[in-house]
Structure 1
Amino acid sequence: MTFKDHFSAHAAIYREARPDYPRALYEFLAKASPSTGRAWDAGCGNGQASVALAECFDEVIATDPSAEQIANAVERANISYRVEPAEQSSLDPASVDLVCVAQALHWFDLTRFHEEARRVLKPRGVVAFWTYADCRVDAGVDAQKDRLYIDLTGPYWPPERALVESGYASLPFPFERIATPRFDMCMHWNLEHYLAYLRSWSGTQRYIRALEHDPVSLLEADLRAAWDDAECVREVRWDFHLHCGRV
């Protein structure tokens, strides 16, 4: 299968710069699943969610079609990384308790993936798909970030970005929905980490490839002024959207 690969070229940057998901999310999913024997992290990227799942499940199978992303994944004894598409995994039928997709569902062939999830899940197994979009710090920082997000990189985002911004609201979800609590997604970063995150955006990387210069550098002085003290640790918050259900 071919796949839309927007991250392999900067897999190492992506691994270091992306935010973590709420710890309470994984604890909730472990309790909702039939057991904590095995979880599948489909479209795992660098294994960000895989590592957290490995603390709550006995075994985690983590798959991604990008060999470069898998090569940059964080290893754990109970994580098995595999280079393969989510729509056609090597998992046995009825072999996993949880199927999760962290910030990757918008790249999938959904009809085929939904069929694959049903095939590999145990009876009453759980599916969990989540995404996050825009972030906030304060009015001054956000104004500069919006210049990057809208004015500079806006034309370079893949069209699937609209699905992320909507929180996957328009995507089909052919599973029995599970009521979920609210999860707050936030990180505490200094300015250098925040700038690295902006540079990890697929829109930023596509801009760089097209125009051969870094759009973040065009705004860096203004971002530094808005942040005030570069070493100051600030709270960065995202809108977090979770869709959870059972077969």
Structure 2
Amino acid sequence: MNANIATEFSHNTFSGQNYESARPKYPKELYQKIEKSYEDFIDDQTQKGIQQPEKPIFIDLGCGPGTATYEIHRAVPFPFLTIGLDPSTKMIEAANEKLSGDDDSLQFGIADESNFNNFFKSKYPESSTLNNANVNFISCAQCCHWFDFPTFLENSYNILKEGNTGGKLFIFGYIRPVIWEYPELDDLFKRLDYDFEYGFGKYWQQPGRDYLNNLLTDDYYIKAWEQSSFDSIKFERFFTTKERTPFIDDNAHSFLLSKSTTVKHFRDYITTWSAFNKCKRERGEEYAVAIVDKYFNDMFAKVSSLNYDSKITLVWSTYFIEATCYGELK
């Protein structure tokens, strides 16, 4: 993971709890999609005589405060161990705060895409259960735009390949919320996001932010997938547009991520941006807050019926990618 981003999310000015409360929650349909794909993979491998682990290990890499980790852990209806990994101590602290003391099948630890394949060997060197041979599921939510992506794919494939069981890789995320009811506000929000003077453009870590804005369609990702050893790679994306083209669940679009909320909560979401936190550290909290104040004052001037208590619907552009590492008969 880009060291600057890991530092940003680990800095004492960053709150993992605020991130957890203000960020959108992935819809149940996404977890159902993941569950079905994983179970189809298990059925296919079993029919081919490829034995699967009795208690597989699921890895959620770049887990942040565990938002997706907990949901994935609840979604799959059979025994397995889920381990959320993130390079940010602040994020892992927030994830651990929600752990139930009597559930030892969910754990969190520190690692990133460059070293997570060594996590079990270093943490459990003598264990016959907690080892790479049992990993057959890896997920990454809202983090791959910060990764050294070719290294991540190589390490993911190798850890899934160990033990000959194979496994599934799921990558998904979101960007650019629009206020669905007010297309006329889209350009104003883009200025807050991208503009170097009006907004937070200069504080985003690049090229990661641009990669996410393009939903991982850049040549950097295309080449990495082409050079990887993964099979059956599927890409699904949904772009919000000014025309407000509705989401269609047709296996070409990823998933609908929307949230009915207030303008005040939308403001809270913006303050979870790494760019906001970087701006606050470099220029002071008053300066960063003034940028946000300016944006919302301009919003209220443009749509006079809006205020901080107004109800709105936020809709994000999203992507979903899955890939398969097939097992081999021993």
* TM-score, normalisation: structure 2: 0.68
Q: Are residues 1:50 and 2:55 paired?
A: no
Residue in structure 2 matching 1:131, options 168, 173, 194: 173
More helix by share: 2
1:3 aligned residue: 3
For 1:79, the equivalent position in structure 2 comes to 106
Range with greater deviation from structure 2 (116-125 or 24-33)? 116-125
Q: Percent identity?
A: 23
CA contact 1:130–1:242 (8 Å) conserved in 2: yes
The equivalent position to 2:211 in structure 1, one of 163, 166, 175, is: 163
Q: Is 1:154 paired with 2:232?
A: no
| Corresponding pairs, count | 247
Letter in 1 for 2:99: E
Native 8 Å contact 1:190 1:230 kept in 2: yes
From 114, 121, 129, the equivalent of 2:160 is 121
Name the CA distance, whole Å, in 1 between partners of 2:277 and 2:235: 37
Which residue number in structure 1 is paired with residue 23 of structure 2?
A: 18
C-alpha deviation, 1:97, in angstroms: 2.7
Q: 2:268 aligns with which of 192, 196, 199?
A: 196
Which is higher, the Rg of structure 1 or of structure 2? 2
**Corresponding residue number in structure 1 for 2:82:** 60
Per-residue CA deviations over 1:144-170 (Å, capped at 9, x if unaligned) read 322311221111111011111111112
Gaps of 5+ in 2: 43-54, 121-130, 237-250, 326-330
Please give the alpha-carbon distance, in whole angstroms, between the structure 1 residues aligned to 2:235 and 2:148: 25
Query: In the alignment, which residue of structure 1 is the partner of 2:58?
Result: 39
Q: Is the CA contact (8 Å cut-off) linking 1:190 and 1:234 kept in structure 2?
A: yes
Q: 1:124 to 1:24 in 2, by over 3 A?
A: farther
Cα pair distance change 1:82/1:189, threshold 3 Å: same
1:209-228 equivalence runs, <5 A: 209-212=281-284, 213=287, 214=289, 215-224=291-300, 226=303, 228=306
Asked if the contact 2:139–2:170 (Cα under 8 Å) also holds between the matched residues in 1, the reply is yes
Q: Which amino acid aligns with 2:110?
A: V
Q: Secondary structure at the match of 1:72?
A: helix
Question: Which amino acid in 1 is paired with 2:146?
Answer: W
Distance 2:37 2:83 in 1: 18
Cα deviation, residue 179, structure 1: 6.5
- Tell whether the 8 Å contact from 1:186 to 1:236 is kept in structure 2 after alignment: yes
Structure 1 counterpart of 2:91, one-letter code: Q
Distance 1:37 1:28, change over 3 A: farther
Structure 1 residues 2 and 210: CA distance shift in structure 2, 3 A = closer
What is the deviation of 1:240?
0.4
Give the Å deviation of 1:27. Answer: 1.2
TM-score, length-scaled by structure 1: 0.89
Q: Is residue 105 from structure 1 mapped to residue 144 from structure 2 by the alignment?
A: yes
Secondary structure at the counterpart of residue 55 of structure 1: helix
Q: Please report how far the alpha carbon of residue 191 of structure 1 lies from its aligned counterpart in structure 2 after TM superposition.
A: 1.3
CA contact 1:178–1:246 (8 Å) conserved in 2: no
Compare 4-13 and 79-88 and name the one that shifted more: 4-13
User: What residue identity is the alignment partner of 2:321?
Assistant: H
Distance 1:179 1:221, change over 3 A: closer
Farther off after superposition, 97-106 or 2-11: 2-11
Distance in 2 separating the partners of 1:154 and 1:242: 26
